Structure 1
Amino acid sequence: MFMHPGTGLAYTPTPSCFLGCFDIYDREETLGEELGRFDPNEPVDRERLIVEYALKGRRSYREKYLLYKCLEAALLDEAYDFHALLEHDSQECSSFPDGWDEMDNPRLFFEEIYRLASELWTDDLRRAESEDGSTWDYV
């Protein structure tokens, strides 16, 4: 079983794991303003947001693979509610840039993440796929 780094807990990703980089809570004046220059409904801006934020960062090839596969499963589920991932929860210490909760087509946003991850993470995905995932017990 794949364990989350530093916690010793099982790592079970969800599509929302791709959104943490867009959380502007307590960073409205910095990251919020930076992300506010983009419109996730516009294809060019959406791709830039995904490539420069959602797909960057320090992730092992195994973590990338598990994230990719969980997103694949969600996209195969016609009833999966991608909009719910963007809704503001006043009980949580997190928020997205203005207007993200009203994104025209949240499913499309995640389809683009999947498409771009397929391209940008190709080598890592192949490497992970060639291994026996049942033996993964660390990052």
Structure 2
Amino acid sequence: MLKNPFLDVEFVPDLMWFIGQFDVYDREETKGAELAVYNPDDECDREKLIVKYGLDLKCLSYRHKFVLVRFLGEKLDDPNFDFQSLFEIGEDCAGSWPRGEWYNLQNPKGFLQDVYVNAKKVWKKDLEKAALEDPSTW
């Protein structure tokens, strides 16, 4: 069983691994200011955001990355999956996005499609390594 990198429990894939990197709650003056120069609806800015911040998951092994990319691919293929809900932060939640655009992205599914494309490029060696293994042995 693949374990969570922080807890002694099974790893459950979640798309928040990709977009949680952009939560700036209690870091608005530092990380928030750094991320606020980017517009998540702009294709060039979005690629920079994804590669520099969204895929910078050093705590994850090649196996975790493989599971996450496969999970994201499944969600992208699901016509009923609500991608906008990933970017909604309730009033009772401790979280905030760097700019107003994040709360109502023009194309939240497109954002995650770009994550998928870039993850397959950036993590290519890790994904190939994991693909050679039998996931049932993890």
Answer with 20-29 or 90-99: which moved more. 90-99
Q: Is it true that 1:48 corresponds to 2:11 in the alignment?
A: no
- What displacement does 1:57 show? 2.7
Q: How does 1:101-120 map to 2 (within 5 A)?
A: 101-120=103-122
Three-state SS of the structure 2 residue aligned to 1:90 is coil
Task: Specify the code of the residue in structure 1 equivalent to 2:93.
Answer: E
Structure 1 residues 50-94: Cα deviation after superposition (integer angstroms, max 9, x where no partner): 000011131210111011011011001011111000012122211
Return the TM-score normalized by structure 1.
Answer: 0.94
Structure 2: give runs of 5+ residues left out of the alignment.
Answer: none
- What displacement does 1:98 show? 2.3
Mapped partners of 2:92, 2:137: distance in 1:
38
Number of the residue aligned with 2:124:
122
- What displacement does 1:28 show? 0.6
Three-state SS of the structure 1 residue aligned to 2:51 is helix
Moved beyond 6 Å, runs of 4+: none
Q: How does 1:25-104 map to 2 (within 5 A)?
A: 25-58=25-58, 59-99=60-100, 100-104=102-106
Mapped partners of 1:129, 1:91: distance in 2:
40
Task: Specify the code of the residue in structure 1 equivalent to 2:85.
Answer: A
Three-state SS of the structure 2 residue aligned to 1:4 is coil
Mapped partners of 1:2, 1:57: distance in 2:
16
- What displacement does 1:9 show? 0.6
Mapped partners of 2:74, 2:112: distance in 1:
12
Task: Specify the code of the residue in structure 1 equivalent to 2:62.
Answer: Y
Mapped partners of 2:90, 2:117: distance in 1:
28
Report which structure shows greater RCO (CA 8 Å, sep ≥6).
1
Task: Specify the code of the residue in structure 1 equivalent to 2:134.
Answer: D
Three-state SS of the structure 2 residue aligned to 1:25 is coil
Structure 1: give runs of 5+ residues left out of the alignment.
Answer: none
